[in-house]
Structure 1
């Protein structure tokens, strides 16, 4: 079967970031840094590692600085050059012209609607979806693991993680079929089930590879939970018509949509950096003492 390669990724970045106010009043939460790289940069780097070329940002008002981040900064670069500073720190923020594309989501109608806003750019190709709030750290990255699995089974894929059973009601959960290594067949999807009714402890974790048909499904879909157009509902409607698998991510996830997760990610990644690990460890011990 001829599988089109995954060359496009959609990043829904239109959210207001109210959990991080007042920090996010003028700065998009996707630009808040974990140590010295903005959240969105981690997600974009992960996409590039997986061979994805076009980054599609679904933005809202006040989010133009996300696009600025991936543009050329003439004054900054000229000044750094003149001072003999190393410009390589900016390498991952530079893009081939035309490979960063933005579309506006004028009304906040949920994740499904945000994805639907990118339909004209996605066109008739399979595509990835990456939620930058979910910081996925692994070797290789989460999306590369998924693209490799896609090469084996095609169809639709979602990234999942095992969580303790008492935590399942905060997430979307899969109803699992047969398992083969890191791949699990998906028979159904349940959004935020009560602990007793959860079909598994495998939760959706913000990375998807979907076939373009999901756009038609979203088009005809009514509002679901919270009066929003839910991506989970649209994916659930495609189960049975196309192959659908979950990939259990070999790596760690930090929920940077919450303050606690954000602080945890900052600490965890700082403790792993050669340039600062020792000092950060000493500082943490001092503070804990």
Structure 2
């Protein structure tokens, strides 16, 4: 399955990070030296995505400005001979073709994906949630594409979670095909631990086919009046195979305070120019606290 288009929903309000997100989109919060959304876009590019649609909402103008050209800034950098900075800024604007559509009401992930129907225009496509930075030896979306080529159908990324956390995720039921890949036989949105069919949780990566749009339109809103993508996928199971890919890598939920802190520390430690000083700082800080 060739996937060249991606949808990145960014309309969420980021309430888990208030007051930090009161005036700043959570997707623009810094992780080391670039906003979280850039990591997700770079993953899409590494997987061969050629164009991205961002589904935005109120208060998200900063995202559009970030991926646009800043003529005044570029002129200022060039006139002062700051060519390295100039090239870094221009690279962001030129990294991929980005389009935008507004989700006018917060009606859930399924409704956000539905806004992409005209952009997708009958092609298979990826969905990447900007809350999730996934760091691994191979980009998560590349791993999923490998599964999609071997097992035609739709693909969701999954990871094991403690059973007491199943009520925070969409959970799959499935039959193992090969190690790390399941044919999905059922999906449940945020089940209580006692009702969860497994502890394999869907995280923010999907490869979908255009039939998902009809399924979303026929999906009734669930809790909080939101249309769940998980419910639409469940409705498609009799007609379309869905596979689950347990990705290799570490997922950071940057919509959560601890996830954002972990992402900053872990990714900074992978940077040679930062790792030494950061390790020393962490060591000294821990000694001070526990002395």
TM-score range (shorter-chain normalised) is over 0.9
Separation (CA, whole Å) in 2 of partners of 1:48 and 1:18: 29
1:52 to 44, 49, 54: 49
Q: How has the CA–CA distance of structure 1 residues 268 and 196 changed in structure 2, closer, same or farther, with 3 Å as cutoff? A: same
Matches within 5 A, 1:121-200: 121-200=119-198
More displaced, 140-149 or 203-212? Answer: 140-149
Aligned twin of 1:107: 105
Displacement of 1:88: 3.8
Separation (CA, whole Å) in 2 of partners of 1:75 and 1:185: 52
Separation (CA, whole Å) in 2 of partners of 1:275 and 1:79: 27
1:212 to 207, 210, 225: 210
Separation (CA, whole Å) in 2 of partners of 1:150 and 1:88: 36
Count how many residue pairs are aligned between Structure 1 and Structure 2.
Answer: 285
SS state at 2:105 partner: coil
SS state at 1:275 partner: helix
Displacement of 1:135: 1.0
Structure 1 residue 81 and structure 2 residue 74: aligned? no
Displacement of 1:91: 5.2
More displaced, 277-286 or 71-80? Answer: 71-80
Aligned twin of 1:274: 272
Structure 1 residue 36 and structure 2 residue 33: aligned? yes
Displacement of 1:21: 2.4
Displacement of 1:195: 1.8
Displacement of 1:148: 1.8
Displacement of 1:236: 0.6
Structure 1 runs of 4+ off > 6 angstroms?
Answer: none
Contact kept? 2:175, 2:185, Cα under 8 Å = yes
Aligned twin of 2:20: 23
Superposed CA RMSD in Å reads: 1.5
Separation (CA, whole Å) in 2 of partners of 1:91 and 1:151: 34
Separation (CA, whole Å) in 1 of partners of 2:188 and 2:60: 31
Q: TM-score, structure 1 length as denominator?
A: 0.94
Contact kept? 2:12, 2:106, Cα under 8 Å = yes
Aligned twin of 1:95: 94
Separation (CA, whole Å) in 2 of partners of 1:284 and 1:179: 43
Aligned twin of 1:222: 220
Separation (CA, whole Å) in 2 of partners of 1:96 and 1:136: 19
Q: TM-score, structure 2 length as denominator?
A: 0.93
Separation (CA, whole Å) in 1 of partners of 2:218 and 2:169: 24
SS state at 1:278 partner: helix
Contact kept? 2:111, 2:227, Cα under 8 Å = yes
Separation (CA, whole Å) in 1 of partners of 2:14 and 2:167: 22
Separation (CA, whole Å) in 2 of partners of 1:283 and 1:89: 28
Contact kept? 1:158, 1:247, Cα under 8 Å = yes
Gaps of at least 5 residues in structure 2 are none
Contact kept? 1:45, 1:92, Cα under 8 Å = no
Gaps of at least 5 residues in structure 1 are none
